[in-house]
Amino acid sequence: MTCYFNKLIFDQLYNYWRVGLKWDVFPEKKWDNGTVPYVISPLYEPAEFITISRAISTINFMTCVKLVPWDGKKKDYLLIWPIKFPKGCWSYVGKYGGPQLLSLQAPDEKGPNCLGNEGRAMHEILHALGIFHEQSRFDRDKFVTIHKDNIIPQYLSNFDKQSLKNTTYKFEYDYDSIMHYGRNFFSKGKGKPTITAKHAGAKLGQRRMLSKTDCLKVNDLYGCLNKSSYLQRKYYTICQVLGI
């Protein structure tokens, strides 16, 4: 895509696809004014706190959504915590109301878990903003094959598709999305891929940075691209320059 932002190019880009909650169906799941209060658990070590803070700063810079420290008064806020039961990297999709858990498992003797870099934290925060996994798109079967026999049974539901009724699609399918599963996620064993691309040479997912399309998804979902021509140019430029 080019960095010249005339109306024709904007219209072409806007007619691509994305997957996120439909606010007219689930208005209560949208964060008010695009502002997300948060609390980071004091249980994290300083290095882990910094990793989470960098993830938050990246989203704040690349989008018009603003994650801000909780003032102790707002009813709805994210509670970023190293949850033990069930432990792991997980989040609800969209705002659920009240103190809303977002789990980022801290490093341990087995590895970095959710905090080896900023990517997994950004992935979970995007869920909290209302973004589904990329391979949950209703049209995903045109782009990937799901190998159900290779998936650990209790995780089969992670590969469900979202309906056209409840989600919107405005950007093309994105193999590079930070929200896309990798080839072997939730596999029963080595050499048993759970998801493969139908397009030769496509690599599935990453956990380093928002892709260009991830960045546009969030900005579009929260109306950042409609506020003014200046903000439209600003966020398209940021997404193109910084997105993978």
Catalytic residues: 124
Is 199 labeled as ligand-binding? no
Strands 167-168 and 20-21, sheet pairing: antiparallel
Decide: helix, strand or coil at residue 66. strand
Contact 98, 78 (CB under 8 A): no
Burial of 120 (0-12, 13-18, 19+ CB in 10 A): buried
Q: Which of 152, 154, 96, 91 is nearest to 123 (CA)?
A: 91
Tokens of 97: 């109301």
Is 133 labeled as ligand-binding? yes
Is 180 labeled as ligand-binding? no
Binding site for Zn(2+): which residues?
123, 127, 133
Binding residues, by number, are 123, 127, 133
